[in-house]
Amino acid sequence: MTNVTLSLDEVGALAKRALVGAGASDANAASVARSTVLAERDGIRSHGLLYVPIYAEHVVCGKVDGKAEPQVEHPRSGAICVDAQSGFAHPAIDAGWDMLSEAARQNGVAIMTVHNSYNCGVLGHHAQRMAESGLIGLCFTHAPASIAPQGGSKPVVGTNPFALAVPDGAGQAALVIDQSASIIAKSEILLRARTGEPIEPDWALDAQGRPTTDASLALKGSMMPAGGYKGFGIGLLVEIMASCLAGAVSSVNASPFSGTAGGPPATGQCFMAIDPGGYSGDVFQQRVAALVGEIAGQEGARIPGERRRSNAQRLAKTGVMVDQVLIDRINAFS
């Protein structure tokens, strides 16, 4: 295996060339490439360059309309609705972003929903983007069904993550929580299925409902929810916000994010932006600082999002190591 060191700028250029080569518009490719760079920067490899061949393949086969132009509506002062037009989620989110931020500052809180959408990458990055502009970001995105209800065997909800990012009052996020309803992100199982590595025994069940360490069998069965029935409850919460409220298809009817089977997934997202100034004002930042201090003051404790921040500081300087085989796969679309 030959590894190559790429700067973050080179990561973005590599991703964008492949997406444009696959048939995406320049603007859409740039939006997805930025997400890819952030994932690599933060050390979240499963959502970085590893996903670019999947994105490109889905543009080629029609699961994603690479040239889609999102349609934005503003039906009420605190409501923004975006139709991704079966395109990538990233440019659809970008299309309504400024309107969402402005509405939150005017009203104290605002919500943007996105439907007819697709995988939005690392959800926490969207929440962090809000926090860096001084807003609390609470985000939801659902996915094709992969988690069965407690006591059941048929998947009903997806891994369905939510993310929360809180501003620190100085242009950064004080903390970022990004977690799925499943015990592990499905992308990790997809990654291990490709490499042939076993998964942990408590991550998933096979199609017969038995625990398995075989990633390929896990993909045919169901993911284990984090915390048992409580994890499934989180999955339902996200389903209500990102599917039902957004007017997107349900997880059970969404086509897979991997492979070429089925048409556009038509999934959805929901982004809530809250302006602390409309509520407790300066007291909010004081309470957040104190809360973070309580965590940081304990030896061995880690503030949510701290590992990503550390990776970002290091990899922005050193670049990232990428397998030449993966680079060749990506370049094939260019």
CA distances from 215 to 44, 54, 135, 196, 286 (A): 19, 18, 39, 8, 45
65-80 burial code (b ≥16 CB/10 A, e <16): bbebebebebeeebeb
- 310 catalytic per annotation: no
Structure tokens at 21: 């080569």
The DSSP line for 240-297 is IIIIIITTPPPGGGPPPSSSS-SS---EEEEEEEE-GGGTTTHHHHHHHHHHHHHHHT
Told to judge if 57 belongs to the known catalytic residues of this protein, a careful annotator would answer no
Cβ distance 269 to 130 under 8 Å? Answer: no
Q: Indicate if 47 belongs to the active site.
A: yes
Tokens encoding 61: 């086969």
Q: Is beta strand 109-117 parallel, antiparallel or unpaired with respect to 79-83?
A: parallel
Q: In terms of Cα–Cα distance, which of 277, 280, 282, 273 is closest to 104?
A: 273
- Residues 144-183: b if buried by 16+ CB within 10 A, e if exposed: bbbbbbeeeeebbbbbbbbbbbbbbeeeebbbbebbbbbb
Catalytic residue among 47, 90, 115, 125: 47
User: Catalytic pick from 46, 86, 133, 216?
Assistant: 46
Which amino acid belongs to residue 249? V
How far apart CA 202 and CA 106 sit, in angstroms, is 46
Looking at 188, 200, 216, 306, which residue is catalytic? Answer: 188
Give the number of other Cβ atoms within 10 Å of residue 139's Cβ. Answer: 29
Which residues have C-beta within 8 Å of that of residue 273, sequence separation ≥ 6?
Answer: 100, 101, 103, 104, 109, 110, 111, 112, 130, 135, 136, 137
Q: Is 120 exposed, middle or buried (0-12, 13-18, 19+ CB in 10 A)?
A: buried
Question: Which residue numbers are catalytic?
Answer: 46-47, 188
